[in-house]
């Protein structure tokens, strides 16, 4: 079953730390979301493989937007 990693708040994608096909463990950093002049790391909620990255660096995202999909 796929897990959607969503943005906890609105902001801009500052850095992406993974690529499609990467295996990640729960609590691995996936990307950094810049919001309110702060860098907020977004972590994997579960172990899995990155199957899709739905954002790019400098993209503006809204709260609850899907960022990455893990399988």
3-state SS of the chain is CCEEEECCCCEEEEEECCCCCCEECCCCEEEEEEECCEEEEEECCCCEEEEEECCCCCCEECCCCEEEEEC
Res 43: pLDDT: 98
pLDDT digits (tens, 9 = 90+) for 30-67: 999 999 999 999 999 999 999 999 999 999 999 999 99
According to DSSP, the residues that pair with 34 across neighbouring strands are 12, 39
Res 22: pLDDT: 98
Sign of the alpha-carbon torsion through 32, 45, 8, 53? positive
Res 1: pLDDT: 84
Q: Is the pLDDT of residue 69 over 90?
A: yes
Query: Could you tell me the residue range of the domain that residue 40 belongs to?
Result: 3-70
| Cα–Cα distance, 12 to 28 (Å, whole number) | 20
What is the total count of domains within the chain?
1
- Give the CATH number, domain containing residue 32: 2.40.50.100
């Amino acid at each position: 079953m796929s897990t959607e990693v969503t943005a906890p708040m609105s902001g801009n994608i500052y850095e992406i730390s993974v690529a499609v096909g990467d295996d990640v463990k729960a609590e691995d950093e996936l990307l950094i979301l810049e919001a309110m002049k702060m860098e907020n790391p977004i972590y994997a909620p579960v172990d899995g493989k990155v199957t899709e990255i739905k954002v790019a660096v400098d993209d503006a995202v809204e709260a609850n937007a899907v960022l990455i999909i893990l399988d």
